[in-house]
Amino acid sequence: MKLVIAIVHDEDAGGLIEELTNNKYRITKLATTGGFLRAGNTTLLVGTEDEEVDKVIGIIKNNCESRRELATSPAPVSGTTGVFIPYPIEVTVGGATVFVVDVEKYVKL
């Protein structure tokens, strides 16, 4: 048994969750926050059999395309003595970060 951990952009999460559940996968959804843009992410936990991992990753790939968007530059972390003026920067959003880990034991109560 494997645990697939997928960190996806909030905008991609709804469609991904729908397709995974339509394919009979059980999902646990966690609301998380990314570090760079402090944007909302969704972390999905999917338990599956070893032979189903590639199918799950394929579904994630089909629903989480990366794309370029304009975003306001994040405020500096350290204190500034002057005035900070945010400016738009082009960033890549979407896509997914996926981890697959072995599950030693699975119990459903």
Return d(Cα 63, Cα 66) in angstroms, integer: 10
Q: Is 22 part of a structural domain of the chain?
A: yes
The pLDDT score that the predictor gives to residue 32 is: 85
Please report, for the domain that includes residue 37, its CATH number: 3.30.70.120
Q: Is 37 part of a structural domain of the chain?
A: yes
Q: Residue 6, class by beta-carbon neighbours within 10 Å (0-12 exposed, 13-18 middle, 19+ buried)?
A: buried
**Does the pLDDT at position 35 exceed 80?**
no
Q: Is 19 part of a structural domain of the chain?
A: yes
Residue with tokens 């991609």: 12
Q: Is 34 part of a structural domain of the chain?
A: yes
Q: Which residue range is the domain that position 51 belongs to?
A: 2-65+94-102
Tell me the residue type at 46.
V
Q: Write down the pTM of the prediction.
A: 0.74
The per-residue pLDDT for range 39-87, each reduced to its tens digit, is 678 999 999 999 999 999 999 999 988 766 666 666 665 655 566 666 6
For the chain, how many structural domains are there in total? 1
